[in-house]
A and B are shown apart, each in its own frame.
Chain A
Amino acid sequence: MLLPDKMTKILIVGSKTRIKETIDILYSLEALQLIDFSSEEEGFTLGTPLPVASQASQRLLKLRAAEKELEVVDKTLTEKVLLSKIEDEVDDVLITLEAEITGAVESKSSILNRIHELDASKKALEPFTALPLDMDQYKGYQNLTVFTGTVRNDPTAEMKGALDRYELFTSVDAKFVAVFVAKSEAAEAQRVLMQQGFAEITAPIGNGNPADSIKAIESELEALASSLAEASEKINLLRKKYETFILASEEHLSIVVEKAEFPLRIGSTEHSFLIDGWVPQKSLAKVQQALQSQLGDDVHLEALEVAPRKEHIHPEEARAGVSEAHIIETPPTKASVKKPVNMFSFLTELISTPTYGEIDPTIILAIVFPLFFGLMVGDVGYGVPFILLGALGLRKCKSDEWRTISTMLFFGGIWATTFGLFLFGEAFGMHFGPVWIVEPGQTLAQLKLQYPYGTELSWSSMTSMQLPSLGVLSKLHDVKLLLYISLWIGFAHLFLGFSIGVYNETVRHGFKHAFFHKVGWIMILVGGAFMLLFVVDLLILNKPVGLDDLRAMIGLGLIIPGVVISLVGEGPQAILELPTLLSNVISYTRLAAIGMSKAGMALAFNMMAIQMIAPEGGVLIIAAILVFMVGHLMIFILAVIAAGIHGIRLHYVEQFQKFYIGGGLKFDPLKVVRKYTTERGEKNGS
């Protein structure tokens, strides 16, 4: 039940005339994971695509081109398109699409080209508007050389000194110049200009005043902009008109092509085909029956064997006759967990897919992770918003990441609220509990015993009502006890991890292997737990206990043989792992520590807001409310990060290391996913 579904290896052999039907059936069953045919087997070659493939591919190519030109993007359709409609209309639509798109796209791109041209010539003309010359005056001289361009410094003075026959025009800001100089002095003129940081800008061919030309260009650009808008609008209209059909038929044709090219993945001879694959054991009958009833004797299914959970073959087993075939292929992993447990599977996948022969740890994550989260938050004030936020996220979010975070918030919030009410009895870092009011016949000491936090800031003291004292522990007053409890949670969690490890190893490699690799560690862990009891008495409670104490003897009696067993199983590495186990257990103190830090921060903000700012009255009450809100919002956000990350980390790092191997192949059966199209009971037509 906790292991992934059992897989059966099957072989389907059939006559090539029925290959298309076989493919359709297998895709519709969604139960077969194909093992790609390796062409090494004698007598078999790779199959050839079905005849429909080439036509469908051609259509697909055209569709994708149209899709790209019209910039069609994925979207959700209100209504799915019928397959029969696609089959009937796709060719006609492709022809009209081609004609209309080509026209529209071409006119759009020619407009765009013209706009680029005009922009370029406008840019070239712009500098020349600074000079009082027409464009035709820059060209066509026999004895003159013309220099036009920008300069860094005004060259007037230098030119006067160096040249005789020239004329210089400068723009008002003296940054743009035009020099007309006799050919004989051209070289000299160039030298002078270069010294002034001259960069040539060639005058474009043209005539008339450059400013007028620019005006003309601008008016043409304006006209073009409106026709560009028109062309774009036309394309938009085309997109709106054909979008649904294009998306739907692209999807459909992709499926057709995938199915038609399916024979490339299987083996075939001249007249028959051969499909190798994995089927979940419980779907085997369904597959068998479907093939039998629809194709009769033309196709034969042979169930080869149920994949064994064992990983590799021990030499002794090999001698006993276990076939080598067992180790050749790894069966895929089909998780058997159902909702709501599988809402956490993203967290497992983040590490790795479980292998075929091990327990899917998602179930532990689903139970313990929210519990840890709730324990670390442990506050009604944050728990309830977490539940609401989580529920909202589960309703709205689509991506796996956000759904997982929402799941964590929802279930973690439920535990946070529960612990907040009944374990810690607090909301927003304040206990509910009653204030001390000494009544006749009662002493303060008695009250203190009943409820130790009577003088503190609490919901009772704030609202002047005597609320009942819920909760049995306080995050800030019972720190030592909470740390101690969290160590025991650590022992229990790690014990669970090792126990699953024993089971997995037994399944995969046999009990002998499990004994040397995991049972030794369990003994060390349990012995450690006894030692903890002993050490607490010895060091902390300062009781006179010696090594003859029963707990110490049991502890050492378990640890020493445990170390020996692990040494035999894992070698000297086991000794190095011992401190790691100790640090693993102590690592769980974060469960208490994070709750404590939240309570500490909340206390600080509450004191600031309620005891320091609010009593001043007036406007400061608003300031107090602000401090309270901002402070608790900060703690709330930190709680998601701290409790979420540390909760999951205790699984990934501390627990999973004890049993989880991962690296399995996810079961990925042949199937079609239709987002835009529907068969509505009809058989796939093409």
Chain B
Amino acid sequence: MVVEIGSGLIAVGAGLAVGLAGLGSGLAEGPIGAAGVGAIAENPKMFGRSITMVVIPETIVIFGLVMAILLWIKM
């Protein structure tokens, strides 16, 4: 399978976009999740609030995903 260098680079770029954004989200979500689990352990009613807090950084990975999809479409 012969692939042009250009589309290969686009593919790498898309991978980086979603991968690095995911890494960033993960780094941000980890401590929030840990704190959230702690809060739930003390008071199970905190579940709803914790889950909302945990997913806040997820916006980042979703933007990464958007970039990846846009790049992928350009391939």
Contacts and interface: CB of A to CB of B under 8 A. Distances in A.
Interface of A: 350-352, 480, 483, 539-540, 579-580, 583, 586-587, 589, 649, 652-653, 656-657, 662
Interface stretch (B7-15, B26-34, B58-66): B58-66
B51 interface: yes
Given A483-B69, A540-B73, A649-B55, A587 B62 contact: yes
29 contacts: A350-B47, A350-B48, A351-B47, A351-B48, A351-B51, A352-B48, A539-B70, A539-B73, A540-B73, A579-B59, A580-B59, A583-B58, A583-B62, A583-B63, A586-B62, A586-B65, A586-B66, A587-B58, A587-B62, A589-B65, A649-B51, A649-B55, A652-B51, A652-B52, A653-B52, A653-B55, A656-B48, A657-B52, A662-B48
A652 B48 contact: yes
Contacts of A652: 48, 51-52
A646 to B, nearest CB: 11
A365 to B, nearest CB: 13
A64 B59 CA distance: 56
Given A649-B55, A653-B55, 7 more contacts: A480-B73, A583-B58, A586-B62, A586-B65, A652-B51, A656-B48, A662-B48
Given A483-B69, A589-B65, A653 B51 contact: yes
In the A-B complex, list the 4 residue pairs whose CB atoms are closest, starting with the nearest. Answer: A351-B48, A583-B59, A583-B62, A653-B55
Contacts of B55: 649, 653
B2 to A, nearest CB: 21
A387 B31 CA distance: 37
Nearest to A483: B69
A584 B69 CA distance: 16
B24 to A, nearest CB: 14
B4 to A, nearest CB: 19
B18 to A, nearest CB: 11
Interface in B13-54: 45, 47-48, 51-52
Contacts, number: 35
Interface residues of B, number: 15
Contacts of A580: 59
Contacts of A656: 48
Listed residue (A483, A539, A653, A657) with the most chain B CB atoms within 10 angstroms of its CB: A653
Contacts of B66: 586
A662 B46 CA distance: 12
A649 B55 CA distance: 10
Contacts of B69: 483
Contacts of A352: 45, 48
Contacts of A583: 58-59, 62-63
A609 to B, nearest CB: 25
A471 B45 CA distance: 43
A228 to B, nearest CB: 41
A589 B58 CA distance: 13
B43 to A, nearest CB: 12
Contacts of A587: 58, 62
Contacts of B48: 350-352, 652, 656, 662
A587 B65 CA distance: 10
Contacts of B58: 583, 587
B58 to A, nearest CB: 7
A320 to B, nearest CB: 36
A580 B47 CA distance: 21
B37 to A, nearest CB: 14
Contacts of A589: 65
A483 B63 CA distance: 15
Nearest to A593: B65
Nearest to B51: A652
A579 B57 CA distance: 12
A600 to B, nearest CB: 15
A387 B70 CA distance: 38
Contacts of B52: 652-653, 657
A652 B48 CA distance: 8
Nearest to A540: B73
A352 B44 CA distance: 10
A649 B54 CA distance: 11
Listed residue (B45, B55, B58, B62) with the most chain A CB atoms within 10 angstroms of its CB: B62
Contacts of B59: 579-580, 583
A188 to B, nearest CB: 61
A655 to B, nearest CB: 12
A494 to B, nearest CB: 14
Nearest to A652: B51
Contacts of A483: 69
A483 B73 CA distance: 12
A652 B70 CA distance: 28
A485 to B, nearest CB: 14
